[in-house]
């Protein structure tokens, strides 16, 4: 039997069903891997070894008794630290929630537990999901397993890094402007942002409520579909949850047939502004889809050029409102102002928020509060919402022509730490291709398109109409099959293992 940490989730599920492996063996192997490499990668904030092994043993006992179990029961998973978990700290990567242990599980976490997936731990992230590099975590950097001097994407760099460094076969993420898809692109993994409302947001620590969406991260399209199926579905605890059946994402991934499908290349999301290295891998991937029987058409979405501006008004506005709850009165960090013997509630609140929030969070709160202030609301936030409507209309027209839309996921491969720290706008532009899907609420996937000439992974993005998430998996699986055949194996098998063991 192969090393369990190098097996896909689907293969692990088959090994569990056949009795070739136990969940305890699989979980222990991943915990050993975490102990061996995560000090260098920095992908986990909290490792829940004892509870993960306890759940694994419980699943093994239920299987031995002949109980009916979910296909993924016993396959371990990592959870982004923005999802509440009973018994395991939840910090959202921020000092203001340091040590907080929630009294309830997020709905996604409840569904993972009900399906019998042992939770290995919580993954690192940019503070309150604000960032594209996981450089803005209050607890240190997460490093890209392909090159420890480069970013793993963000805000969900921890989740992408655990998958790419073989520390978990599956992970959960959240995507507000690309925080699942962009990390997948730069680490050579697969990530999906489902249709807005397709996966419950109950128990997610909110940044921008009209944009945030939980989704799956894995190494293959089928594994991602299997996790998507567990996570998705209507939740009465979430007022934005869609009360419709979950699309057959697993069946779509298994069919992988794009014959006759129309694939639309978005003119505004290719070419200028995208690295030639990334563009070359994208063009090759499009040709693979053509060879598989798809028809390629070009579509124009003229308003997506305004997506970045609209997003960076809507998102900080909603973030400033959501983060107002961290007031030092109810939970979280509480410090008093220096030199004040009997501080007022306002003074404690100001001192606590100053000490607990990082620079990027403060920047976005200030920007959002200004955009919502009297006299500016209509000019900024209101206008941005009108642009959002225009972008949604662009998508609607494009999907009249094409079944799915495609683009590179990110304009470049992973950049070095600190490279964009002094230029926030350069960092923000890294999400230029992913943000439109969040503004319109449509689903999106990123999967590897190959290695650019710098030896780092590039990502291929697929977008589909709302509640047509299954189309992502049809196209993604068809492309993955051809690429893996061309590469002679999964892209991550080409990753330089020495990058995560040097100095060990």
| Whole-number pLDDT of residue 398 | 98
Residues 111-139 as b or e (16 or more Cβ within 10 Å = b): bbeebbbbbbbbbbbbbbbbbbbbbbbbb
pLDDT band at 430 (very low <50, low <70, confident <90, very high): confident
* pLDDT tens digit sequence for 34-51: 999 999 999 999 999 999
What one-character-per-residue DSSP string does 416-449 give? Answer: BTTTTTT-HHHHHGGGTTTHHHHHHT--EEEEEE
Query: Which pLDDT does position 37 carry in this prediction?
Result: 95
The residues assigned a catalytic role are 80, 155, 179
Going by C-alpha positions, the residue among 467, 97, 473, 489 that lies closest to residue 254 is 473
Q: For the segment 138-154, what is each residue's pLDDT rounded down to a tens digit?
A: 999 999 999 999 999 99
Tell me: pLDDT of 381 over 60. Answer: yes
**Residue-wise pLDDT tens digits, 247-256:** 999 999 999 9
Q: Give me the phi and psi of 289, to 5 degrees please.
A: -65, -40
**Model pLDDT, residue 497:** 75
Q: Is pLDDT at 503 greater than 80 in this prediction? A: no
Kindly report, residue by residue over 338-350, the tens digit of the pLDDT: 888 889 999 999 9
Mean pLDDT (whole number) for 318-347: 91
Work out the mean pLDDT of the chain and round it to a whole number: 95
What pLDDT score was predicted for residue 376?
86
Per-residue model confidence (pLDDT) at position 223: 98
Is the pLDDT score of 498 beyond 60? no
Given pLDDT bands bounded at 50, 70 and 90, which one contains residue 426? Answer: confident
406-417 residues labelled b (16+ CB within 10 A) or e (exposed): bbbbbbbbbbeb
Q: What percent of the chain has pLDDT over 90?
A: 90
Check residue 194 and give its pLDDT. 98
Evaluate if residue 337 carries a pLDDT over 60.
Answer: yes
Question: Is the pLDDT assigned to residue 504 strictly greater than 70?
Answer: no
Contacts of 114 (CB under 8 A, 6+ apart): none
When the candidates are 3.90.1300.10, 3.30.70.330, 2.40.50.70, 3.20.20.370, the CATH number that belongs to 4-303+389-494 is 3.90.1300.10
Query: Under a CB-based contact definition with an 8 Å cutoff, are residues 47 and 120 in contact?
Result: yes
Domain ranges of the chain: 4-303+389-494
Phi, psi of 269 (to 5 degrees): -115, 25
- Half-sphere exposure (Cβ direction) of 191: Cα atoms closer than 13 Å: 37
Percent of the chain whose pLDDT exceeds 70: 98
Q: Model-level pTM?
A: 0.96
């Amino acid at each position: 039997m192969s090393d369990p940490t190098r097996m896909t989730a689907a293969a692990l599920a088959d090994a569990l069903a056949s009795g070739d492996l136990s969940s305890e063996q699989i979980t222990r192997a991943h915990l050993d891997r975490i102990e061996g490499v995560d000090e260098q990668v920095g992908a986990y904030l909290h490792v829940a070894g004892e509870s993960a092994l306890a759940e694994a043993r419980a699943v093994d006992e239920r299987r031995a008794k002949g109980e009916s179990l979910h296909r993924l029961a016993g396959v371990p998973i990592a959870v982004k630290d923005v999802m509440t978990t009973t018994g395991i700290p939840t910090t959202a990567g921020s000092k203001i929630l340091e040590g907080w242990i929630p009294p309830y599980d997020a709905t996604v976490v409840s569904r993972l537990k009900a399906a019998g997936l042992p939770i290995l731990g919580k993954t690192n992230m940019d503070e309150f999901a604000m960032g594209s590099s996981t450089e803005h975590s209050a607890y240190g950097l997460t490093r890209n397993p392909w090159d420890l001097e480069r970013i793993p994407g963000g805000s969900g760099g921890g989740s992408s890094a655990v998958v790419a460094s073989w520390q978990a076969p599956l992970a959960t993420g959240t995507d507000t402007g690309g925080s699942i898809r962009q990390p997948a692109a730069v680490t050579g993994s697969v990530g999906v942002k489902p249709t807005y409302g397709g996966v419950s947001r109950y128990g997610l620590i909110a940044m921008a409520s009209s944009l945030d969406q939980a989704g799956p991260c894995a190494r293959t399209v089928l594994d991602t579909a299997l996790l998507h199926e567990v996570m998705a579905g209507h939740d009465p605890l979430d007022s934005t949850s869609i009360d419709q059946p979950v699309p057959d994402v697993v069946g779509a991934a298994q069919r992988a047939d794009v014959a006759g499908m129309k694939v639309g290349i978005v003119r505004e999301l290719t070419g200028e502004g995208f690295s030639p290295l990334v563009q070359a891998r994208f063009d090759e991937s499009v040709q693979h889809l053509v060879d598989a029987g798809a028809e390629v058409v070009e579509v124009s979405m003229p308003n997506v050029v305004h997506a970045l501006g609209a997003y960076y008004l809507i998102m900080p506005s909603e973030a400033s409102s959501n983060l107002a709850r961290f007031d030092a009165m109810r939970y979280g960090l509480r410090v008093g102002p220096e030199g004040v013997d009997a501080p007022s509630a306002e003074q404690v609140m100001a001192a606590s928020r100053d000490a607990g929030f990082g620079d990027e969070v403060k920047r976005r709160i200030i920007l959002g509060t200004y955009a919502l202030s009297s006299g500016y609301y209509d000019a900024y936030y209101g206008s941005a919402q009108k642009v959002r409507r225009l972008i949604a209309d662009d998508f609607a027209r494009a999907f009249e022509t094409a079944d799915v839309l495609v683009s590179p996921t990110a304009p470049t491969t992973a950049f070095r730490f600190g490279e964009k720290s002094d230029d926030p706008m350069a960092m923000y532009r890294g999400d230029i291709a992913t943000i439109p899907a969040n503004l319109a609420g449509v689903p999106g996937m990123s999967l590897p398109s190959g290695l650019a000439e710098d030896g780092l992974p590039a990502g291929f993005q697929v977008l589909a109409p709302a509640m047509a998430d299954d189309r992502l998996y049809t196209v993604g699986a068809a492309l993955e099959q051809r690429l893996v055949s061309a590469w002679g194996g999964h892209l991550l098998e080409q990753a330089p293992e020495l990058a995560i063991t040097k100095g060990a």
